[in-house]
Amino acid sequence: MSQLKKQAISGVFWTGLQQIGKQSIGFVVSIMLARILLPEEFGLIAMIGVFMGLGALLLNAGLGQSLIRMSNPDDEDFSTVFFFNLIGSIVVYFIVFFSAPLIAEFYQQDVLTEILRWYAIIFVINAFSMVQTTRLTKLMDFKTQMQISLPSIIIGGSVGIFMANNGYGVWSLVWMAIIQSLSDTVQLWGFTKWKPKWVFNIEKFKFHFNYGYKLTLSGVLDVVFINIYTIIIGKYFAPAQVGFYNRADTLKQIPVTNISNILSKVTFPLFAEIKDDDIRLKSVYKRIMKLVIFLVAPILLILAALAEPLFRFLFTEKWLPAVPYFQILCWNGILLPIHSYNLNILKVKGRSDLFLKLEIIKKIMIALVVIVSFQFGIYGLLYGSVFTSVVGFFINTHYTGKFLNYSALSQAKDLIPTIFMAFLVGASVYFTDLFIKDKIIWDIIRLLIGGLLGGGLYLFLAYIFKMNSLTELKNIVLRK
């Protein structure tokens, strides 16, 4: 086995443990908080998500990805990026601080002023740890990242649950995030040996910034349009509706984030290692793409089929209005990982200009769809998001198809059989649950029956049709 393949499999293994551990602990924490807090309190935090996302992007400016892509960055590279992030974080914090009243006025929620001013402290805290995290990713040291992130989630989650139980409401969510971020940063400085030197190299900054700023502009567009539904719902509907949408979207993101981030975190440095070998790059990309859809599609569609007992069992009856939102968003989530993998090819090829171009095209398309679909209310927006995900796939694959000789149509042909098989399994689970729902009163039993039926049937079909992704998954689990 080649050294690169060993690194990739090890990276997937440790990133998998980290991601599954983070999501498992975070999921338990979110369930406990959802049972204590009200949907509108989650809605308030969701409303500021776009501003927190924009702030994080602006202070990073894509320099972290430039460091990962660079063949041999030295201490001057890392130190230059570190001090830029630190100074940038302070500037961004004050921008948010003074803009907070305007944001609160936009949503007509006065409490958002203080929430934003406290929550934005995370910018400064994270600026101290971004380069350390980047170095670990560059070295594909995901084991250390796992050892740091899991205790931080436990500490932050414990603070959030304690505050929620003691009547702090939305502030329990604010302080949970701050404490988790602070814990991450302290541990990264303790675990990693690197410390910044007192140097800021203008030429190196220009080199990294020239690569990164286009990615940042693309990211700004991405953050705005990812949150466009939250912004519109928050502006024109009650905070509780934002909470329902956010809960549905967050639950949908769990399998997408777990599986996609595990592979995405490894694929960027992996793609960077083989960026000049197009034949090998295409082979690796194709295998990863098929594997992620093999995992994501059945999980999302089985969860969509079991949405009603799932939401009641996890979050109680008060969250049931989020069920139809979740079922629609599950279809939106299937292709999301593929978008990022296609764009990673452009990043490692150094074509951040094409990355930005595609983002602009997609955002114009999304804006048009939102304008039309908003006329049909929340459900119109949700169905519109599914449409934009499908169209976005064909936009994102345009340049990847040219670089790797792997067109959108060829990628679609590789993915459709897996998605169709997942659809058949999801439909089987849905109609089975529909048949037994009046006969079984316990939601947990319905979930167990549906989950076992769906998982077993999917693996059986994958084995019968000899799907290569099943073998790939087995090799990763066994670390072969």
Please give the pLDDT value at position 307: 96
Q: Give the domain extent around 422.
A: 239-480
Please say whether the beta carbons of 84 and 78 come within 8 A.
no
Q: Within this chain, do residues 355 and 281 fall inside the same structural domain, yes or no?
A: yes
Say how many domains are in the chain.
2
Please say whether the beta carbons of 309 and 433 come within 8 A.
yes
For tokens 């679909």, the residue is 373
Angle of CA points 467, 473, 474, to nearest 5°: 100
Q: Within this chain, do residues 177 and 266 fall inside the same structural domain, yes or no?
A: no
Of 218, 236, 254, the position where a domain reaches its end is 236
Instruction: Give CA–CA dist 378/325, Å, rounded.
Output: 9
Please give the pLDDT value at position 5: 54
Q: Within this chain, do residues 362 and 462 fall inside the same structural domain, yes or no?
A: yes
Q: Within this chain, do residues 57 and 147 fall inside the same structural domain, yes or no?
A: yes
DSSP result, 222-237:
HHHHHSHHHHHHHHHS
Q: Within this chain, do residues 208 and 271 fall inside the same structural domain, yes or no?
A: no
Q: Within this chain, do residues 197 and 338 fall inside the same structural domain, yes or no?
A: no
Please say whether the beta carbons of 285 and 404 come within 8 A.
yes
For tokens 């992704």, the residue is 469
Please give the pLDDT value at position 141: 67
Please say whether the beta carbons of 121 and 112 come within 8 A.
no
Instruction: Give CA–CA dist 180/154, Å, rounded.
Output: 8
Instruction: Show the tokens assigned to 233.
Output: 């719902």
Tens of pLDDT, residue by residue, the chain (480 residues): 455 555 555 555 666 666 677 777 888 898 999 999 989 999 999 898 888 888 777 766 667 777 777 767 778 888 888 888 888 889 889 999 999 999 999 998 999 999 999 999 999 998 898 888 878 877 766 677 778 888 899 999 999 999 999 999 999 999 999 999 999 999 988 888 788 888 888 888 888 777 777 667 767 777 787 788 888 988 888 888 999 999 999 899 888 876 766 666 555 556 666 666 667 777 777 888 888 889 899 999 999 999 999 999 999 899 999 999 999 999 988 888 877 777 777 776 777 677 778 878 888 898 899 999 988 888 999 999 999 989 988 888 877 777 778 888 888 888 899 999 999 999 999 999 999 988 888 999 999 999 999 999 999 999 898 887 777 666 655 554
Instruction: Show the tokens assigned to 99.
Output: 């803009």
Q: Within this chain, do residues 232 and 255 fall inside the same structural domain, yes or no?
A: no
The pTM for the full model equals: 0.75
Q: Within this chain, do residues 130 and 272 fall inside the same structural domain, yes or no?
A: no
For tokens 């139809």, the residue is 324
Q: Within this chain, do residues 16 and 57 fall inside the same structural domain, yes or no?
A: yes
Residues 6+ positions from 155 with CB-CB distance below 8 Å? 179, 180, 183
Q: How many CB atoms lie within 10 A of CB 2?
A: 7
Q: Within this chain, do residues 166 and 284 fall inside the same structural domain, yes or no?
A: no
Q: Within this chain, do residues 128 and 232 fall inside the same structural domain, yes or no?
A: yes
Of 236, 263, 295, the position where a domain reaches its end is 236
Q: Within this chain, do residues 14 and 42 fall inside the same structural domain, yes or no?
A: yes
Please give the pLDDT value at position 444: 94
Please say whether the beta carbons of 285 and 345 come within 8 A.
yes
Three-state SS for 311? helix
Of 211, 236, 261, the position where a domain reaches its end is 236
Please give the pLDDT value at position 339: 76
